[in-house]
Structure 1
Amino acid sequence: MSRNNTPTTASATAIADNYTISIGRTHCSLLSSSIGASFSIFVVNIVVILISCKVVHVFLRRLGQHQMISDFIIGLTVGNVIILRSSMEEHVVHSIAHISSIAFALYLFVVALEMDPKTILRFSGPHTRIAIIGIISTIGVTLFSYTLINRAAPSLPIKPSHPIISAISISLAATSSPILTRLVTELKIHKSEIGRLAVRTALANDLLCTSLMCLGVALYTFHSPYGRTSSAAISATLRILVIAVQAWLILKLINPVLRKINDRNPEGKPIRGLDMAAVCGVSALLCYCSTFIGFDPSFNAFVVGLCLPRDGRMSNFLIGRINFMLSTIMLPLYLVLVGISCDFGSLIRAEKRSNVYKMMIVGLIGAVGKITGTVVYSIRHGMKWQEAVALALLLNIKGYFHIFCAHNAAIAGVIDNNMMMVMILIAIGTVIPTPLVVAFIVRRARARERGKPMGLQWSKPGGEIRILVGLHGPEDVPMAVNMIEAMRGLGDVGGGLAAFVVDMVEMTDKAAATLVHGEGMEAVTVKDEGIVEMREQIGSALEAYVGESGEGLTVRRMLAVSSFDNMHEDICSAAQDCLAVLVILPFHRRQLLDGTMDAGHPGHCLLNQKVLQFSPCSVAILVNRGLHRSISSSLSTAIQNTCAVFIGGADDREALAFASLISHHPAVKLTVLRFLTEARNKPSGPGRRVLAAAGKQEIEHKTDDEFFMGFYERYVEGGKGVGYMEKNVESGAETVATLRALEGRYQLFIVGRGKDRVSVLTAGMSEWAECPELGPIGDILAASDFSVSASVMVVQQGDVARGFKVIDDEFLPL
């Protein structure tokens, strides 16, 4: 029996073991599949949230709204729509909460890293004084109104009341400098005086208010780092002492090391991975070491960022990477978390609605106090009251910092959810109406004398000529230098040349993440490594040219940061601000090595078309074929032989005016080619409109003859060395044949766009033109089958009609 039972027992044990193993494997597979499914749901939820934020922002951006508004709308939608809230699992919300806990520290760290306290708090300008007056007035009015409201009715449920209401008053006094900087840039007022003043004042305000908040957090943390209750005064004193020692160590020990790391990683070379990891690790360690002394790590991150040097490649690296991560992932997720935690229906259902109303009144009174203090001080120091009010409204903008403070206070149980939602509504309410304020500022800043045409034809003899040259990159510098050098003679105008060179940078998410306040004419600048390197290359080339250019020339740098859909507003406003008579832009197509033209950048093409449509002055599009081969001031090979084509019309007259200016350069040999026809293009048929058109055309021909006769007598017969050719043609085909016969004889052609020209000499050309922005003649000359060495400048006269309020174009001056 025993022999027979032994194998049976063994087999049963083996079966049980196999069954247990199979159960374990099944359980493990189910667990792994569950984890995989949960992770997939988490990823899907995060991706859907981020995409939704981007889609909503695309629409709201057209209204001038900041990304914070679209992110908060998505959060409110997810949190308050039952179906959407139930579809999001709790672990997703918890994961977002963990991500968001880091976002506040990173945000304050990078905001402080962008600040230079020595520059911001310099009392030489009005921005610091305006910031201080606004802070004092806001805190005073808020505390006074809070005291009155509590005496007139039951007090607000705030414990402890005095520290918290002080924090609320500081929060109401603070201005969100990152939000203001981004909005001022996107809404095109960053080059105006009020735009620059607003950005600098916001930086000073943000620095002072956040520092006061850090001091308050250090003073009113009542527990020691080891969890034992200790004296508040002793604990606060030790905490402030440790923070001061930490700041001293950073300034004396860490900063010299960072400077050596910057020297080890010069511009133009990749950053060493070890240095990158060391900087990130030391920064994180400094930010979170404050937990050992009971100080909030987020506010300690602000202190650390304030002590680290603002300049240097490593600082730019940290600013760019952290801002990009915050703007694309962390801040949208945080605002979604805040929106989920907000139930605005509870404000209506609140048992003590009076507390909600009182808190809202306190917030509104605090905003009024800041506006009043800023307006009074600004008016007393010479600012007009309209601009003072606009500046005060801009400086009242709140942002992420205010939402962070309200949400964290609610989590800590210091304030209830209703009070948190009121504070968030106050912060959001200051951002939404900003586009209306900016529209008012634009009208004030762009105000110019109506009816004054801006172009080369109307330049005063002896006055300074101002031009604006747009560059997409270092490859456009030789073109700009050659054009600037060609105009240095200025002909009979002779008042000097001022060239404003604009670096045109596309506003991508990466570029937007590195926007910081600038110096001089620019309220903001970009710290992205690639853009900084590009601008340094352009600056070096321009400085080398200016150093050899001699007298009579002024070159100033400017920056336009925007999407290509809106960049024309930057160019047009800059041209208006600097009173330019001509804007020169590179053609969107570039020449390849084999001589042909590439397909071109569609964004550059759109920019040129919009500038041609909206520019307040004349515009020239330059097709560069050969100008890149010379950056010398001699122009001996670049544009030695130049041909100006004249058919007729306002654009051709402006092109001839430009040709007359460059003809005085000793290296330029100008020849003027005029096309004539015996048959005038007369409209046929009865009607008042036909007669009016005929009359207008006759006036146009008369103006062309008078203008060209004046040019001929001065530059051809006057012994200026300008050549002259005259061709009689009767059709567009003959015009094209004449132009093709000139191939290889000239390095530069100057033609008018001819947007309003009606002539048999160009009949039918516009129908098959490949690039309408060049006009019929310019399109032929710019074609790859015409020439591989001749550059083309297409000139359009400034729209005079935009400066006059007329009913009929017949009454416009010619």
Structure 2
Amino acid sequence: MAAAKTIECPEDPFNPLITSIIQISCMLVIAHLFHLFFKPLGQPGPVSQILAGLVLSPTLLSRINKIRQFFLQDASALYYRFFAFVSRILFMFLIGLGLDIPYMRLNLRVASTISLGAFVMSIIFGGSISWFLIDGVGVTTNRTSFVLVVMILLANTASPVAIRLIDELKFDTSDIGRLAMASSVISEMSCVLVYSTYLAVSSWVMFRYALYCILLTVGLIYLNKQLAMWFAKWNRNSKYVSNAQVVAILALLVGVSIGAESFGYNSTMTGFLMGMMFPRQGKTTRTLFKKLTYSVHNFLLPIYFGYMGFNFDTRDLNTVNNISAVIFLILFSFGTKIIGTMAACYHLKIPMLKGLVLGLILNLKGNFELLLIDGEIDSLTWWSGKIHRLLFLVVVVNTLISGPAVAYILKRRERYFAHTNTAVESLEAESELRLLACAYEPRHASGHLVLTAAMGKSVNPYLMHLVELPKKRRKTQLMYNQLEDGGQFSDEEEYGGNDVLEINDAVDAFTLQTNRKVHQIKVVNSFANMYEDVCTGAEDLRVSIIFLPFHKHQRIDKILENSKEGYRTTNQKILRHAPCSVGLLVDRSQTGFQQPIGSERVQHVAMLFFGGSDDREALSCSKRIARNAHINLTVIRFLPSESQRVQLADASSRDEMLMMSLARNETEVAKDDTFIEDFRLRYVTTGEVGYIEKCVSNGAETVQTLRDIGETMEYSLYIVGKGGGRGRSPMTTGMSDWEECPELGTLGDLLASSDFDLKSSILIIQRHRQYSNKDIVVDG
């Protein structure tokens, strides 16, 4: 990169630096104003930022002499390039750091096929049309290199632009959004690899430099792993590592990247690989995420995108040949990406509309293409200012068209792309399960992590720490030397106190033991409104189930004791308004369910099936737990006795209301029978799960049967449905007369009561229910 090679102090460094800061400030202000206008229209932030740069570019305001003299300075251009260089490196490092490796591993074939389809189509057509463009733009020498640039220009996808666009559109948690991000990363890394290979084989000197770059990258990857562990131990009693330690890691990252650039190679892959190979757990990784995410997304990337628009220059669009060349490249860029992507989607049986969205996202430009355009490949004699500006036009126009087009399609077909897997029952047992576990206290987090570990490797967990907002916000004025080491004081950061540290330690231990990443979120709000944050978060994260902690906790003497009343009211509101299924965990951590991984002990789990949609959802969750080698699952199905069925048949002929109730339940009973039969064929006949049937006549017999089950076998966890869809069942008659906690359902409330004297943990499942607007009650 030219900026990395030539960044040096000019004769008067102060004035150009001040000029650059003023330019950046103007760009950020204009971008914010544009975003206020375009955001209600569904347009993402990068579009506004590129337009802000375009306003200040030679195409518009910089046509005025005084403004042009102020903005277009050679010295300030170096600062711009260096800012863009640092932004790109840090964002590629952040992309690698946040890469969902389990998802990439499971979907590598699909993402690679989509990237390959667009890549091959772009290379073929790019190589063909570039020979027709040579005469049009006046290339007389090094034509092979020009062909390579055009092919990469058409084939590449700017992963920083694509990922930022998807994130802005809140599309990053959907299957198609995650697939687009994975495909964009593969596409860009492929183009960087092709270009680097071309340089490496061009001469022995470049081949030697390539080896130096590889050694530098591998060495820093190893060093980063050691530093991450060392910094975490150094800050054992702190929430994060210090700012100085973060700066040390980033300085090494930028230093190695500058070294790779000075050898003539692109450092995009270097930053990405160092992020991808960075340790996934611990305080160092958490601190880097916290520090980088806000600064990169809200400061560095807007400058980067603004710089793209700032280089938009139409002064060369004064001849038919130049205009035709730009239009030709733009049309072929769209055509090759969309055709190649849709062909791959047709092969993979992905709907064509999703293929169109993928094609538009993969047509986003602005990262590696800019490096080729800004640089000089082998000191090519054809690399004139005119060609530079024309190719820049192609890059910017592609992004300005593709971004709004994606936003328009997603907004127009919002229901088509909406989250539909709002229940575990709708998923295959082997497919990924996205779940959101809510914790008010560290013990809640520990219980949910134990449950997450039991549900198998195909779980993508999010842990949300719910912190009560104090009624009186504490105002504190601290001197700098009174702040945390390397920290910045804020009221929000202080919320949660030591609970945050304990939850972080629990998550780190869980990640280290299970090698599964847990995404952490902290919500600070009053108990009256906290349910809104949870429900909105569940919808944005597209989870299939929310796990909530019971408002009682087990004391040292093994008795359940009430916690804050706010826990209970929040749980009740979430149960009413949740956009997906909900699981309520009564965690008896001392006597009940324990961590199933890393222990030789085999735990026994019982699933009590009475029938109805909630019980089917509970059985769907049990399927995943049954796959754990450290758990022995037994499904106990309760059926009405023969005498009870005869009595119901006789009563239904006399009682019209009972007859209507039974008619409504016929469909549910048929679903239950089909579901249980399929479950038995897949799991019981193979010996993976035990299956028992119990016939009872009334609620009293059910209670006695449950007591006998508890005395016969020590189950560490009971899984039950809340009771939705069960209807009027004689098997539970009278069991709700002394109901203490209605949010647990009839059966869950019985098992959790002190009178039942059960030592096991209990998981109560409520399946997602579709409510109409008139059914939703807004809490006061």
TM-score range, shorter chain: 0.5 to 0.7
Secondary structure at the aligned position of 1:175 is classed as: coil
Secondary structure at the aligned position of 2:127 is classed as: helix
Secondary structure at the aligned position of 1:398 is classed as: coil
TM-aligned CA deviation for residue 167 of structure 1: 1.3
* Whole-angstrom CA distance in 1 between matches of 2:106 and 2:746: 56
1:348-406 Cα distance to aligned partner (Å, 9 max, x none)? xx432452233222232233234434444565x65457388448515623243167348
Aligned AA (1:421): L
Please, which of 370, 380, 385 is the counterpart of residue 413 of structure 1? 385
Aligned pairs for 1:343-382 within 5 A: 350-376=317-343, 379=346
Aligned AA (1:202): S
* Whole-angstrom CA distance in 1 between matches of 2:668 and 2:125: 67
TM-aligned CA deviation for residue 240 of structure 1: 1.3
Aligned pairs for 1:761-772 within 5 A: none
Question: Is residue 2:309 matched to residue 1:339?
Answer: yes
* Whole-angstrom CA distance in 2 between matches of 1:601 and 1:721: 30
Identify the residue that residue 586 of structure 1 maps to in structure 2.
548
Aligned pairs for 1:455-494 within 5 A: 470-472=436-438, 475-480=443-448
Please, which of 452, 456, 461 is the counterpart of residue 503 of structure 1? 461
Aligned AA (1:355): N
1:727-760 Cα distance to aligned partner (Å, 9 max, x none)? xxxxxxxxxxxxxxxxxxxx999996999999xx
Identify the residue that residue 477 of structure 2 maps to in structure 1.
none
* Whole-angstrom CA distance in 2 between matches of 1:652 and 1:136: 49
Secondary structure at the aligned position of 1:351 is classed as: coil
Aligned AA (2:151): S
* Whole-angstrom CA distance in 2 between matches of 1:773 and 1:93: 66
Question: Is residue 2:191 matched to residue 1:209?
Answer: yes
Decide whether aligned partners of structure 1 residues 145 and 468 sit closer, same or farther in structure 2, where only a CA change above 3 A counts.
closer
Question: Is residue 2:53 matched to residue 1:71?
Answer: no
1:456-503 Cα distance to aligned partner (Å, 9 max, x none)? 9xx9xxx99999853135643454478899xx9xxxxxxxx8797553
Is the 1:654–1:795 contact (alpha carbons within 8 Å) kept by the matching residues of 2?
no
* Whole-angstrom CA distance in 2 between matches of 1:715 and 1:375: 58
* Whole-angstrom CA distance in 1 between matches of 2:370 and 2:209: 22
Secondary structure at the aligned position of 1:717 is classed as: helix
TM-aligned CA deviation for residue 179 of structure 1: 4.1
Decide whether aligned partners of structure 1 residues 98 and 464 sit closer, same or farther in structure 2, where only a CA change above 3 A counts.
closer
TM-aligned CA deviation for residue 720 of structure 1: 5.3
TM-aligned CA deviation for residue 210 of structure 1: 2.2
* Whole-angstrom CA distance in 1 between matches of 2:361 and 2:433: 34
TM-aligned CA deviation for residue 453 of structure 1: 12
Secondary structure at the aligned position of 1:426 is classed as: helix
Identify the residue that residue 170 of structure 1 maps to in structure 2.
152
Identify the residue that residue 364 of structure 2 maps to in structure 1.
398
Aligned AA (1:329): F
TM-aligned CA deviation for residue 586 of structure 1: 1.2
1:193-233 Cα distance to aligned partner (Å, 9 max, x none)? x66654444322211212344566x69xxxxxxxxxxxxx9
Is the 1:190–1:196 contact (alpha carbons within 8 Å) kept by the matching residues of 2?
yes
Please, which of 265, 272, 288 is the counterpart of residue 231 of structure 2? 265
Q: TM-score when scaled to structure 1?
A: 0.54
* Whole-angstrom CA distance in 2 between matches of 1:141 and 1:595: 69
* Whole-angstrom CA distance in 1 between matches of 2:431 and 2:117: 42
Identify the residue that residue 246 of structure 1 maps to in structure 2.
212
Is the 1:100–1:330 contact (alpha carbons within 8 Å) kept by the matching residues of 2?
no
Aligned pairs for 1:434-445 within 5 A: 434-435=406-407, 443=416
Secondary structure at the aligned position of 1:799 is classed as: coil
Please, which of 394, 397, 404 is the counterpart of residue 425 of structure 1? 397
Decide whether aligned partners of structure 1 residues 606 and 91 sit closer, same or farther in structure 2, where only a CA change above 3 A counts.
farther
Secondary structure at the aligned position of 1:586 is classed as: strand
Identify the residue that residue 101 of structure 1 maps to in structure 2.
81
Decide whether aligned partners of structure 1 residues 201 and 447 sit closer, same or farther in structure 2, where only a CA change above 3 A counts.
same
Identify the residue that residue 121 of structure 2 maps to in structure 1.
137
TM-aligned CA deviation for residue 38 of structure 1: 9.7
Decide whether aligned partners of structure 1 residues 506 and 144 sit closer, same or farther in structure 2, where only a CA change above 3 A counts.
farther
* Whole-angstrom CA distance in 2 between matches of 1:391 and 1:604: 38
Decide whether aligned partners of structure 1 residues 796 and 132 sit closer, same or farther in structure 2, where only a CA change above 3 A counts.
closer
Range with bigger deviation, 264-273 or 132-141 = 264-273
Secondary structure at the aligned position of 2:385 is classed as: coil
* Whole-angstrom CA distance in 1 between matches of 2:146 and 2:416: 41
Please, which of 749, 766, 769 is the counterpart of residue 799 of structure 1? 769
Equivalenced residues, count: 612
Is the 2:39–2:45 contact (alpha carbons within 8 Å) kept by the matching residues of 1?
no
TM-aligned CA deviation for residue 111 of structure 1: 5.9
TM-aligned CA deviation for residue 424 of structure 1: 0.8
Is the 2:575–2:582 contact (alpha carbons within 8 Å) kept by the matching residues of 1?
no
Is the 2:723–2:745 contact (alpha carbons within 8 Å) kept by the matching residues of 1?
yes
Aligned pairs for 1:444-593 within 5 A: 470-472=436-438, 475-480=443-448, 502-504=460-462, 535-539=507-511, 566-569=536-539, 574-575=543-544, 583-586=545-548
TM-aligned CA deviation for residue 538 of structure 1: 4.2
1:13-52 Cα distance to aligned partner (Å, 9 max, x none)? xxxxxxxxxxxxxxxxxxxxx99x9999789747635654
TM-aligned CA deviation for residue 697 of structure 1: 8.1
* Whole-angstrom CA distance in 2 between matches of 1:40 and 1:455: 53
Identify the residue that residue 386 of structure 1 maps to in structure 2.
352
Is the 1:131–1:201 contact (alpha carbons within 8 Å) kept by the matching residues of 2?
yes
* Whole-angstrom CA distance in 2 between matches of 1:284 and 1:657: 51
Decide whether aligned partners of structure 1 residues 391 and 564 sit closer, same or farther in structure 2, where only a CA change above 3 A counts.
same
Aligned-residue Cα RMSD (Å) equals 7.1
* Whole-angstrom CA distance in 1 between matches of 2:565 and 2:326: 62
Larger radius of gyration: 1
Decide whether aligned partners of structure 1 residues 501 and 191 sit closer, same or farther in structure 2, where only a CA change above 3 A counts.
same
* Whole-angstrom CA distance in 1 between matches of 2:156 and 2:397: 15
TM-aligned CA deviation for residue 557 of structure 1: 8.1
Decide whether aligned partners of structure 1 residues 248 and 479 sit closer, same or farther in structure 2, where only a CA change above 3 A counts.
closer
* Whole-angstrom CA distance in 2 between matches of 1:472 and 1:70: 36
Structure 2 unaligned spans of 5+? 1-14, 377-382, 466-500, 523-532, 556-560, 597-605, 626-631, 639-655, 673-693, 709-716, 729-740, 753-758, 776-780
Secondary structure at the aligned position of 2:203 is classed as: helix
Identify the residue that residue 686 of structure 1 maps to in structure 2.
none
Decide whether aligned partners of structure 1 residues 46 and 505 sit closer, same or farther in structure 2, where only a CA change above 3 A counts.
farther
Is the 2:158–2:365 contact (alpha carbons within 8 Å) kept by the matching residues of 1?
yes
Aligned AA (2:53): G
Secondary structure at the aligned position of 2:137 is classed as: coil
Is the 1:100–1:331 contact (alpha carbons within 8 Å) kept by the matching residues of 2?
no
* Whole-angstrom CA distance in 2 between matches of 1:718 and 1:319: 52
* Whole-angstrom CA distance in 1 between matches of 2:106 and 2:724: 53
Decide whether aligned partners of structure 1 residues 559 and 351 sit closer, same or farther in structure 2, where only a CA change above 3 A counts.
same
Range with bigger deviation, 81-90 or 129-138 = 81-90
* Whole-angstrom CA distance in 2 between matches of 1:602 and 1:91: 60
Decide whether aligned partners of structure 1 residues 370 and 651 sit closer, same or farther in structure 2, where only a CA change above 3 A counts.
closer
Is the 2:122–2:336 contact (alpha carbons within 8 Å) kept by the matching residues of 1?
yes
TM-aligned CA deviation for residue 602 of structure 1: 12
* Whole-angstrom CA distance in 2 between matches of 1:715 and 1:435: 55
* Whole-angstrom CA distance in 2 between matches of 1:332 and 1:359: 26
Q: TM-score when scaled to structure 2?
A: 0.56
Question: Is residue 2:146 matched to residue 1:156?
Answer: no
